[in-house]
Structure formats: C-alpha cells, structure tokens
Amino acid sequence: MSNLDIVRPENSSFQWVGRLLIWSILLLFCFWFLMPAYVVISTSLKNLEEIRGGSLLALPHELNFTAWQHAWNQACIGVQCTGLQPYFMNSVMMAIPAVLFSTILGALTGYTLTKWRFKGSNIIFALILFGCFVPFQVVILPMAQTLGILRLTNTVYGLILVHSVYGLAFTTLFFRNYYVTIPDELIRAATIDGAGFFTIFFRILLPISPPIIVVAVIWQFTQIWNDFLFGVSFTTGGSQPLMVALNNLVNTTTGVKQYNVDMAAALITAAPTLLVYIVAGRYFVRGLTAGSVKG
C-alpha cells in the first residue's frame, strides 16, 4: 500500500468538509441579501390591515395587487396626484437615447485614441479619464448654466444631454481598453486596402465589439435609470424622471402611511434594471474581462 492510498481518504474527507463550509457561508450570505427583497415583495402584496396586524416576515394571506395599481396610477408629485406611468415614460425617453449616444460616442472616441493616435492623444485620454472621478455635485452648476443657454432646462432632452456627456468618460474608457488589445496590423492592412476611418470602424471593429458594447450599455443604463440628483436638479413637475417621482411618492404624507404602496412603487422603479441584469448579467462579466489580456 502506497502513501497516496493512505492520505487520499483524509484529503477527500477534508475537501468534503471544506465544501460544506463554503456552501453554508454562501447560503447564509444569500439569505442575508435576499431577505430585504422578500420583505419588499411580500409587503407590496399585503393590505394595510395585514401589515399592521401581522409579522413582517409572514407571507401574504392572498395576492393583492391593489398597492401596485395605486402606485402606478396615483403617485403624488407636489400638490398634484398622478401615476408613476408618465414618469416611467420620462425615464424611458431619457435613458434609451442617452445610452445610445454615450455608447456610440465612446466607441468612436476609444477607437480614435487607440488606432488613430495623434500628438496629444494621451493627454486627451488622461483628461477624459479624469472625468470618471468627477462627482455629480461638481458639474451641477456648469451643467445648469449650459442647459439654460441651450434652453433645455426642465426638459427630458436636457437630461439626455447631461447623461450623454457625463457618461462619455466611462464609455470611452471601456472601449479604449478593449480596442487596445486589437492588433494594429489589422488596421494598417485595412488602410492599405483603401478603407477609411468610418469604414474600418463600422466594418472591422464594430462587428467584434459586442462584448464591450454590452458592458457600456448595462453600465450606462443602470447609472442613468437610477440617477436622482440630475433629475431633481434640472427638472420639475411632469418632466421629472421616475426616480424623483418615487422619492416624492414615498415622502408625501397624505393621511395614513401606505407601506405597501411604497414597496410596490420601489419594485416598479427597480424592475427595468433588474430585468437588464437578469437577461444580460453574464455578458457583462464576460465583456469586462474580454479586453483584460492582450495577445
């Protein structure tokens, strides 16, 4: 009998105990992080009497979507009461164009800074990279002045411009780090064949860019949809995005506090970003690591 035959059962037993410990810790953390989501969902499906008289962790006696209907149709914004629906559409009209513009411009900028380098390109990239570290609060005043000059204050179009400009630094960084891994010889060969700037971009680079496009789209959509500061600073009334409407709904007191309506409104607001991560979350991780190794 060899030494390996003696040690193997002990190692196998040790590995089994280690895996059991790891899975137990993971399940504990999973339970810890999912518990608030369970409370939010279950509370949104209860009526006020059940919320007051029952346990916070108890399942609803029956599925009640009245709170969801109330949150969708009767959210109060200031002295006027309307539904979350128009503000939901404001966020859709704001997020989709802003994501498209910032992603396309970021792709073109990252492509230019990697494959069509010029004198001072590294300095320009450093300045753009610096924009990733500028907090929202710093740009509020200059953005407000710019929107006032362009007469885009208190409009969805103004928010599209703000988010497109602010997100350009992040999308440029994503695409630049991705395109730097693509061999320059590929661009030179296309140039020798007579391809120009936009031909190379649309026919060569863009078809191999879906991984990083997914990263940019998910990142930008999450940042734009969940933004509150720009929305509350640059818009009022019916032009505000959904996140501001949610804040106004939760903080508006009209008699008895309706926790089920607040929870339903929070779930409605979070649904698009949750859906995006459920559908494309795995591609987000693949895209982040796609340009991490060159060669």
Indicate if the alpha-carbon torsion angle 192, 196, 197, 198 is positive or negative: negative
How many structural domains comprise the chain? 2
Q: Which residues contact 211 (CB under 8 A, 6 or more apart)?
A: 178, 283, 286, 287, 290
> Has residue 58 been placed in a domain?
yes
Do 176 and 241 fall into the same domain?
Answer: yes
Placement of tokens 């001072």 in the chain = 120
Token pair, residue 205, equals: 């680079």
Do 187 and 51 fall into the same domain?
Answer: no
Last residue of one domain, picked from the residues 45, 64, 83: 64
Do 107 and 152 fall into the same domain?
Answer: yes
Residue type, 192: I
Do 114 and 45 fall into the same domain?
Answer: no
Nearest 5°: phi and psi at 183? -60, 135
Among residues 10, 15, 67, 31, the alpha carbon closest in space to that of 268 is found at 67
Do 110 and 11 fall into the same domain?
Answer: no
Cβ neighbours around 254 below 10 Å, total: 9
> Has residue 104 been placed in a domain?
yes
pLDDT for 15 equals 80
| pLDDT digits (tens), the chain, 295 positions | 455 454 455 566 778 888 888 999 999 999 898 898 898 999 888 888 888 777 777 888 888 888 898 888 864 444 445 668 889 999 999 999 999 999 999 999 999 999 888 888 889 989 988 888 888 888 899 999 999 999 998 999 999 999 999 999 999 999 998 999 888 888 889 998 888 899 999 999 999 998 899 999 999 999 999 999 999 999 988 889 999 988 888 877 566 778 888 899 999 999 999 888 888 777 777 766 665 555 4
Last residue of one domain, picked from the residues 30, 45, 64: 64
Do 11 and 113 fall into the same domain?
Answer: no
Do 189 and 109 fall into the same domain?
Answer: yes
Do 202 and 144 fall into the same domain?
Answer: yes
Domain around 236:
75-290
User: Is there a contact between 216 and 175 (Cβ–Cβ < 8 Å)?
Assistant: yes
Task: Give the pTM.
Answer: 0.83
The span from the CA of 251 to the CA of 40, in Å, is: 17
pLDDT for 291 equals 55
Do 254 and 128 fall into the same domain?
Answer: yes
> Has residue 151 been placed in a domain?
yes
Last residue of one domain, picked from the residues 64, 86, 104: 64
Do 40 and 122 fall into the same domain?
Answer: no
- Tell me, what DSSP letter sits at residue 46? S
Length of the chain: 295
Do 99 and 37 fall into the same domain?
Answer: no
CA distances from 177 to 129, 145, 171, 190, 238 (A): 12, 33, 10, 21, 40
The separation between CA 53 and the C-alpha centre of its own chain, rounded to angstroms, equals 37
Strands 80-82 and 75-77: antiparallel
Residue type, 169: A
> Has residue 295 been placed in a domain?
no
Q: Can you give the CATH number for the domain in which 116 is found?
A: 1.10.3720.10
Do 20 and 116 fall into the same domain?
Answer: no
> Has residue 39 been placed in a domain?
yes
> Has residue 69 been placed in a domain?
no
